[in-house]
Amino acid sequence: MIEFSQFNYAYPTSTAPVLRDIAVTIPEGQVCGLVGPSGAGKSTLAYAAAGLIPHALGGEFTGSVTTAGRVVADTPLAEVVTEVGLVLQNPFNQISGAKYTVREELAFGLENLGVARPEMVSRIDGMLERLQITHLADRSPYELSGGQQQLVALAAVLVMQPRVLVLDEPTSQLDPAGSRLVFTALDELRDSGITVLLVEHKLEQLAEYTDRLLVLVGGSVQLDGPPEEVLADPRLPEWGVGTTRFTDVARRAAELGRWPTERPLPVTLPAAVAGFTESLGDAG
């Protein structure tokens, strides 16, 4: 679980609050997406959930954040990270710098957790395979492409089996196939009851893979609800969040009277097909 309670935050150098009155509870087992324009505070919210705020970045806050049962500000970061995994927006910043190979990079966190050698090997091999990066195991993380680094950063976090996972644009440098790997891996994690906060711009994937969606604008949560409702909200474009192709096409069809009046605008392909099928049925 991640619980923000009337949380306000400013960086040490900020002249105005960056997060305002955040009051959001993400229950255990929920996959919650977070969207918003650039500078809205999405990464800042991710840092606060994972303990970089206040422990590593300082600043001033009021209210509280509780993650995986611990009040983050009152818990040493070394303890927070045993339960909460954070994948940073820029994977290059995630690489420990102390390790020579991808395999060692994945072993790093597990060594700190005190995981026994045989289990460590099997977890690492399993994770490399799941994200299809086994061929990179003996390479230096620094030699990899941005997309490959992104998969390695995710693997290094997932291999620790966190109870709470915070992902900051984990597919930004990946091609569609790489992105699919990430979303599929997330989907498979559902059974383990993990709680996920996912910052992501890919609206169609959010519609498909999340249970809930938050829209952050200017440091405040403007919308919070099921993705099919949030993504059909007409204010998204003016906030700089965009819309899915399906919503876009249906909205234009609606303007031409070609979308069933009572039907909400679609955010997925099946919902778009259902609406247009109904519309054609009515016409014919």
Ligand X SMILES: Nc1ncnc2c1ncn2[C@@H]1O[C@H](COP(=O)(O)OP(=O)(O)OP(=O)(O)O)[C@@H](O)[C@H]1O
Closest CB 215 distance from Mg ion, rounded Å = 14
Stretch that binds ligand X, among 13-21, 152-160, 203-211, 262-270 (CB under 6 A): 13-21
Considering only 2, 31, 32, 43, the residue that binds ligand X (CB under 6 A) is 43
Encoded tokens for 135: 């061929």
Considering only 33, 41, 178, 275, the residue that binds ligand X (CB under 6 A) is 41
| Interaction of residue 112 with ligand X, rule CB under 6 A | no
x-marked contacts with Mg ion along 37-76 as a string, rule CB under 5 A: -----xx---------------------------------
* CB neighbour class for 9 (10 Å; exposed up to 12, middle 13-18, buried from 19): buried
Considering only 24, 31, 40, 272, the residue that binds ligand X (CB under 6 A) is 40
Q: Are 106 and 128 in contact (CB under 8 A)?
A: yes
Closest CB 33 distance from Mg ion, rounded Å = 14
Considering only 1, 5, 11, 242, the residue that binds ligand X (CB under 6 A) is 11
Facing residues of 214 across strands? 34, 224
Q: Radius of gyration over alpha carbons of the chain, in Å?
A: 20
Closest CB 52 distance from ligand X, rounded Å = 10
| Interaction of residue 149 with ligand X, rule CB under 6 A | no
Nearer to ligand X, 33 or 41 (CB): 41
Nearer to Mg ion, 94 or 279 (CB): 94
Exposed e or buried b per residue across 76-106, where buried means at least 16 C-beta atoms within 10 angstroms of its C-beta: eeeebbbbbbbbbbebeebbeeebeebbbbb
Stretch that binds ligand X, among 35-43, 70-78, 252-260, 274-282 (CB under 6 A): 35-43
| Interaction of residue 18 with ligand X, rule CB under 6 A | yes
Closest CB 214 distance from Mg ion, rounded Å = 14
Q: Coil, helix or strand for 137? A: coil
Query: Strand runs (DSSP E) across the chain, as ranges?
Result: 2-10, 19-26, 31-35, 60-67, 70-71, 84-87, 164-168, 195-199, 212-217, 220-225
Closest CB 157 distance from Mg ion, rounded Å = 17
Give, rounded to a whole angstrom, the gap between the first and last alpha carbons of the chain.
Answer: 50
Backbone angles phi, psi at 281, to 5 degrees: -60, -45
Ramachandran region of residue 176, left (φ > 0), alpha (ψ -120 to 50) or beta?
alpha
Instruction: Please give the residue ranges that form the binding site for Mg ion (CB under 5 A).
Output: 42-43, 89
Instruction: Please give the residue ranges that form the binding site for ligand X (CB under 6 A).
Output: 11, 13-14, 18, 36, 38-44, 57, 89
